[in-house]
Amino acid sequence: MLDGARPLEARLLGLECERFVIGPDDRLIPYEGRAGIRTLLERLIDRHGWRPVTEVGALVGLKRDGATISLEAAGQFEFSAPPLPTVEAIRQTLAAHQAELADVTTDLDLRFLWAGYNPADHRPDTPVMPRERYHLMRRNFPDGARRGSAMLDFTCAVQVSLDFTDAVECLEMVRLGHLLTPVLIALFANSPVAGGVETGCRSWRGRIWPEVDPDRCGVPPIVFDRALTLEQLVDWAWDLPMYFRAERAADGELRYRMLEQPRTFRQFVLHGRADRPATLADWMLHLSTCYPDVRPRQQLELRQCDTVPLEGALALPALVQGLFYHAATRRACLTRLRDGDRRIDRVALRAAACIAALDAPALGGTLRDLARDVITLAREGQASRIAEGHTVPDPAASDALDRLEAIIRGEAAPFWATLSSGWAATPSLYALARPA
C-alpha cells in the first residue's frame, strides 16, 4: 500500500464512470452482433487507436495512455480516466471519450443510460460477457448469488481514486471516506427503481450492496476507530475468503480458477499450493474482490456513489479533492462528521441515506445540512490549496460543486428524482438513455 504514496505536489485524481448501453429494442445490448459490445470495442481500436485487452481469446477491454475501458458482467461500459491533476483535465478527458463513443455508436442508434441500477431489471435476457471472473464470483456469493448477481448485472457506479502522502494521511482519508459515505450516497443517489417499480429507496444500489457479501462489502467496523492502523486494514482483507486465483497460461493470458477448497488469503499464504508460493499479484487480485465503501490499495478508491450523468459525475472529484487534499480541511471535516463518536450508528446512518437521501436525519439535523457544510469545506480546502501553491484555479471544479449546491437548495432536481419521474412517464430504458 505504501508503495503508492506520492509527494504532496504530485497527488492526482482518478475517475471511473460506468453506464448501461441500450439498443433501440429497449434492452441492454449483447456482446456479439453488429450493434454489440464487441463491435464498439473493435471500432474504438480501429478508429481511435485503443489497444485490445483480451481474456481467454475474447476482447473484453481497451487501454490507451493510462486510460482503460472495461466491461462489467452484463456489459456495463466502464471508462477509467488516467490519473489527472484537476477536475478540468478530467472534464476534457471525459468529453474526448464521449466524442469517440458518439463516433462509434451513432449509426447503430445506441444510447447510454446513467443509472445506479437498471430500472427494468430484465433478468431473463440480461446479456453475458465472456469474462471468467464474473462466472466464478457468482459461485462464491454466500446467498446463492441472488444479491451478488443483482450487483453484477444491474448496477453502475461512479468512483474516484485518491493518492496519499504517507500512512498517517492514508488512515485519515480512510476514516473520512467512510464517515462521508452517507453524504456521498445522498448526494449521488440515482437508483430509485428496480424491477420496474419504485423501491422506496433513493439508492437501491447502495441499499443492496452490503448484502452481497456482508463480510467484504460496505463498512468494516474497524474503519471508525481513530487508532486504526494499516496493519489492521491489511488483516481485514487477509482474513477474507478468496473468491478465486489466477494463473498465466502458455499463451500469456490469465486464467481464473476456483480454489480446490475454501481458504482465506492468510491460509493461502501460509499453506500455498504445491507448485508455488503466494505472490503480490495474488494479493492484488484478492483485493479486487473486496468491496468496502472505501477500498485501500496503492490508492484509495471511494466506491459509494451511484453513477450519474457525466456533468454530475465531475462533482465527485471536485468534492473529494477539496476535502481530502488539504490537511486542515480534512481534519475540519472529520470534526464536523464527529469522528470518533461511538454513540453514532454509522451503519444505520448509511442505510437511512439509501432510503431518504438528503432528507435522512443525521447528527441532529439532516444529511442535507451535513452536505451543505461539507461542500462549503470543500470550497475552502480548494481555495487554500490554490493560495498555498499546490494547485491552480479550477473552474470545472467550482461549476461541479455549484450543481450539487443547487440540488441541496432545491433549485435543481436530485438525480434520483429525474430518473424516477422519467421512468414514471415512459417506462423505457431507451427513452431514459442518452446518445453519447
Q: Are 261 and 135 in contact (CB under 8 A)?
A: no
What is the Cα–Cα distance from 372 to 356, expressed in whole angstroms? Answer: 16
pLDDT at position 84 over 60 = yes
Which residues lie below 8 Å from residue 426, measured CB to CB, with a gap of 6+? 432
Average confidence (pLDDT) over 37-58: 96
Average confidence (pLDDT) over 49-77: 96
Report the percentage of the chain scoring pLDDT > 70.
Answer: 98
Domain boundaries, position 349: 2-240+290-428
Q: Is residue 230 part of a domain?
A: yes
Q: What is the 3-state secondary structure (H, E, C) of 399-422?
A: HHHHHHHHHHHCCCCCHHHHHHHH
Q: Could you tell me the pLDDT band of residue 272, with boundaries at 50, 70 and 90?
A: confident
pLDDT tens-place string over residues 222-259? 999 999 999 999 999 999 999 998 988 877 788 898 88
Q: Could you tell me the pLDDT band of residue 299, with boundaries at 50, 70 and 90?
A: very high
User: Which pLDDT score is estimated for 336?
Assistant: 98
pLDDT tens-place string over residues 381-414? 999 999 999 999 999 999 999 999 999 999 999 9
Q: Is residue 339 part of a domain?
A: yes
Q: Considering only CA atoms, which of 119, 287, 100, 311 is closest in space to residue 202?
A: 119
CB atoms within 10 A of CB 406: 12
Q: Is residue 71 part of a domain?
A: yes
pLDDT at position 144 over 60 = no
Phi/psi at 365 (5° precision): -140, -130
Q: Are 294 and 302 in contact (CB under 8 A)?
A: yes
pLDDT at position 145 over 80 = no
User: Which pLDDT score is estimated for 271?
Assistant: 84
Length of the chain: 436
Average pLDDT, the chain: 94
What is the Cα–Cα distance from 238 to 256, expressed in whole angstroms? Answer: 20
Q: Could you tell me the three cell numbers for 8?
A: 504532496
Tell me which H or E stretch contains 311: helix 310-313
What is the Cα–Cα distance from 167 to 165, expressed in whole angstroms? Answer: 7
User: Which pLDDT score is estimated for 224?
Assistant: 95
Q: Is residue 284 part of a domain?
A: no
Q: Could you tell me the three cell numbers for 265?
A: 488469503
Average confidence (pLDDT) over 69-73: 96
Per 3-state DSSP, what percentage of the chain is helix, strand, and coil (rounded to 5)? 45, 20, 35
What is the Cα–Cα distance from 69 to 254, expressed in whole angstroms? Answer: 18
What is the Cα–Cα distance from 59 to 52, expressed in whole angstroms? Answer: 7
Q: Is residue 33 part of a domain?
A: yes
Q: Could you tell me the pLDDT band of residue 323, with boundaries at 50, 70 and 90?
A: very high
pLDDT at position 343 over 70 = yes
What is the Cα–Cα distance from 187 to 181, expressed in whole angstroms? Answer: 10
User: Which pLDDT score is estimated for 276?
Assistant: 80
What is the Cα–Cα distance from 117 to 147, expressed in whole angstroms? Answer: 13
Which residues lie below 8 Å from residue 227, measured CB to CB, with a gap of 6+? none
Q: How far is CA 414 from CA 64, 97, 192, 310, in A?
A: 34, 25, 11, 14
User: Which pLDDT score is estimated for 123?
Assistant: 62
Indicate the burial class of 189 (C-beta count within 10 angstroms; 0-12, 13-18, 19 or more).
buried
Number of domains the chain contains:
1
Q: Is residue 273 part of a domain?
A: no
Q: Is residue 265 part of a domain?
A: no
Give the domain CATH number at 160: 3.30.590.20
Average confidence (pLDDT) over 169-185: 98
Give the max Cα distance, the chain. Answer: 63
Q: Could you tell me the pLDDT band of residue 261, with boundaries at 50, 70 and 90?
A: confident
pLDDT tens-place string over residues 11-30? 999 999 999 999 999 999 99
Q: Considering only CA atoms, which of 246, 328, 233 is closest in space to residue 281?
A: 246
What is the Cα–Cα distance from 271 to 405, expressed in whole angstroms? Answer: 53
Amino acid, single-letter form, for residue 436: A
Q: Is residue 161 part of a domain?
A: yes
